Structures are given as C-alpha cells and as structure tokens.
Copies of this chain bind each other. A is one copy, B any other.
Amino acid sequence: MKLFHWMRKGSVTVPKGFLATGMYCGIKKSGKTDSCLIYSEAPCVAAATFTVNRAKAWPVLFSMNTIQNPVHRAILANSGNANCFNGPKGREAVEESVDTLHHALDISRRKILVASTGVIGRPFPTDKFKKGIPEMVRMLSKSGDSLAAEGILTTDTVTKELAVEFRIGHKWVRLGGIAKGSGMAHPNMATMLCFMTTDLAIQKGLLERALREAVRRTFNRLSIDNDMSTNDTVFVLANGLAANPPIAERGEDYEKFVSILTDFCAEISRKMVEDGEGVTKVCEIFVEKARNEKQAELIARQVANSMLVKTMFTGADPNWGRVIGAVGATLVPVNWNTLEIYFDQVRVFSGGRGRMSGLQHIRKILRKKFFTLRIVLHQGESAISFLTSDLTSKYVRINSSYTS
C-alpha cells in the first residue's frame, strides 16, 4: 500500500491554515522576485536544521535562537543577499525586519523564523525589505505559494514546489514544501533553503526528531560541488489543523510520518540536483553491502564529490577506474576482489578487474539524464544512496562571475 500520494499542484499552502506570498522588494539587481512570506493562521510547532558551517549568516544565528520557542507562526525570507559577514548592521537588518513583520501581522517577534540566500558580505538593503513586508502581509493568500517559491531562488532555473497527502489516524493530512538549491550543494545540505508546512498534529520534540532523520538521509546526501553554505536552512511548521490524533510518541504514526517526510525531502533533493548549476545529468549512487552506514556514506560522498568522476559523467566516458580511485581515497578497508560496480544494470567491475568489452553500451547509459552507479562491497549488510551530478563548463562559467 502506498503511504501517500503526490498532489498535482501546490506546495506550502496545500496544508490547512497556511497562506503565502512573494514579491520583488528591490534586493536583486535583476528585478526578479526576491522575498517570501509564509504564515499560519493557527499556532504551529516548528523544527529546523541549519548549516554546520562555522561561518553563519545573521538570519541563521537569529533563527537558531528563535526556533527554541514553543510556538511559531511565520517564515520570512529573502534571496539576492545572504546577510552574512556584513558587520553589525546585518544583525540589525534581521531585527528590524522581524519587528516590521511583528507589527504588520500582529504576532509576537518570538514566533517568527527568518532565512536569507545570496551573495555574502554585501550590506543588506534593510529599508527596501522593510517597506515590502507590510505589502507582503496584505498579499498573503492560498494561491501565493508559487510566488513564495520564486522569492527564494538564486541561480535556480525553476521553482521547487511539492505537496503530498496521507492519512494519519483516519484523518487526511497534508505536507507541502518549497525549496531552492543550485550551487554549493555539499556536504551538509546546499546553499539550500527548504520550507515545509503541514497540518499534522505532532509534538515539537518529535517533529524535530523526524526532521533530523529525514535531512540526514536526503539533503545531507547530495553533492553538486564540494562547498558548504553559510545560510543553509530547513524549516518545517506543523499547525495541527488536520485534527489527527496528535503524534505524541514514537509509535506507528510517527514512523509513517518519518518515512513520508524522508521521501518528500528525497524528491526535493532530486529536484535540487537536477537544477544544480550547469548540471545536465543526475546520478544516484548506491553503496551496498557495506560493513556499516558510516563506511557506506564515506564512500558514496567521496565518489559523489570526485571532480574526476563528475567530469567522467559529463563526457559519458566509461572510465570506471576513477570510481575505484575515489573508493580507495576514503581509506575505508575494501576487498577489491569482492567489490562490484554497476552502471544501471551493467557490471563494469568485479573480481579485481574491470570490463573491457561493451564499453559502447556503458557510454549509452552515461549519456542518459539519469542513471545509477552501484558500488557493492560484499562486506556487510548496510546500504545508502547519495545523489550527485556531472560537472560542466557551464558550472565554471556560472561560478566564475557570480558577484560581478
């Protein structure tokens, strides 16, 4: 039985009681939508994960503190400026924006979460953003979710909008989300923002636990390049309006929700990698029959981040030796004689040596937009998956002139 079904359209306003909007406040030079507001008509519990980079943007520092409050009502975000390492005025920008939203929505400052994405180190245009906030509050609506999704994009080429519906205790529950990804998608999340909403009734502590679990297996297992952002933020708000029997312990309902949330985040991850800077191909790496999950992840991450593996994908070049080189570079003890490597269903390495014939067929696989790379260690029973992309000249072009 399927645990959930995807909604044909909509995202953060699909769950009951959520409104959203986005607009152009004058932050981006391009004139594109650069601001986003999500609001719940009912009080929410909230959970978050943030970048583990030691260098953290002001909105991250603010939200890391605010998230500890018991109740939340709104997420305020902008793109075009990371509000990071721009001096004490950056912190004031966050405080003044939150203050403005507090007045406009008539909710406590302590119930507001914030996030930013964009260039590091630029002065934040506080006045422009503050001017836009009351206007966004007026615009809040059930149909504003696409605008909200646009408001957080940077070099993304498409919005990421998703929603699912599922049953908990005979009640229909909805989960929606918007995200931005693109560059720097490694090793712990991307410069990614992901805002999720649900009308599920759940205890805050369990929502936090569920989110950590889902993020660990999805956003923390994808690679576009080998960088880590100062601004990564994932929020989930749950307002309980689905009126399900509240999830208050780690029973069946909780496990079901974790599973759905993980699948949901996995799909967002895939959309982010697909739309990564200059990406033309997505490869899902499976490391199987490893001694433990940690070793499997070390190997997957090394292969996923190898520039030689990524450029091998770019050129559809069946040079599996680069995969071996990356596996060995992890220093995880590997038995080369039992190791097997597959592209899709085709085995290219086993018994300590590689396949020399049928390379044309492997080239065909590597020319696809999506393919799998399976690394089977035959040393245990642990398995994980990890998403990666090719590395193209376009990536280099995009990233060699980001601020200029």
Interface residues of A (CB under 8 A from B): 52-56, 82, 84-87, 119-123, 183-184, 187, 225-230, 305-308, 311-312, 314-315, 317-322, 324-334, 336, 349, 351-354, 356, 391-393, 395-397, 399-404
Query: Which residues of B are found within 8 Å of A395, using beta-carbon distances?
Result: 307, 311, 396
- What 8 A-B pairs are tightest by C-beta distance, nearest first? A120-B321, A55-B328, A315-B400, A311-B399, A393-B393, A121-B354, A87-B353, A54-B328
Partner among B184, B307, B319 whose Cβ is within 8 Å of the Cβ of A120: B319
28 contacts between A and B (CB under 8 A): A54-B329, A55-B324, A55-B327, A55-B334, A84-B324, A87-B353, A121-B320, A122-B356, A184-B308, A184-B325, A226-B305, A226-B306, A226-B307, A227-B307, A227-B329, A228-B328, A229-B325, A230-B325, A230-B328, A311-B399, A312-B402, A314-B396, A315-B399, A315-B402, A317-B403, A318-B403, A319-B403, A393-B396
Chain B: CB-nearest residue to A318: B403
A325 touches B404 (CB 8 A): no
Judged by DSSP, the binding face of A is: loop
Cα A318 to Cα B404 in complex, Å, equals 8
A312 touches B399 (CB 8 A): yes
Q: Nearest-CB distance from A49 to chain B (Å)?
A: 16
Query: Which residues of B are found within 8 Å of A56, using beta-carbon distances?
Result: 328
Q: Which one of A86, A322, A400 has the greatest number of beta carbons of chain B within 10 Å? A: A400
Query: Which residues of B are found within 8 Å of A121, using beta-carbon distances?
Result: 319-321, 324, 349, 353-354, 356
B317 touches A401 (CB 8 A): yes
Cα A401 to Cα B329 in complex, Å, equals 22
Partner among B86, B225, B307, B397 whose Cβ is within 8 Å of the Cβ of A399: B307
Query: Which residues of B are found within 8 Å of A399, using beta-carbon distances?
Result: 307-308, 311-312, 314-315
Query: Which residues of B are found within 8 Å of A352, using beta-carbon distances?
Result: 85, 87
Q: Nearest-CB distance from A360 to chain B (Å)?
A: 11
Cα A122 to Cα B330 in complex, Å, equals 23
Partner among B123, B306, B324, B404 whose Cβ is within 8 Å of the Cβ of A315: B404
Partner among B54, B319, B331 whose Cβ is within 8 Å of the Cβ of A54: B331
Q: Which one of A307, A401, A404 has the greatest number of beta carbons of chain B within 10 Å? A: A307
B404 touches A85 (CB 8 A): no
Query: Which residues of B are found within 8 Å of A226, using beta-carbon distances?
Result: 226, 305-307
Report if A308-B120 is in contact (Cβ < 8 Å); known contacts: A85-B336, A230-B328, A327-B55.
no
Query: Which residues of B are found within 8 Å of A391, using beta-carbon distances?
Result: 396
Query: Which residues of B are found within 8 Å of A400, using beta-carbon distances?
Result: 311-312, 314-315, 317
Partner among B227, B230, B306, B321 whose Cβ is within 8 Å of the Cβ of A82: B321
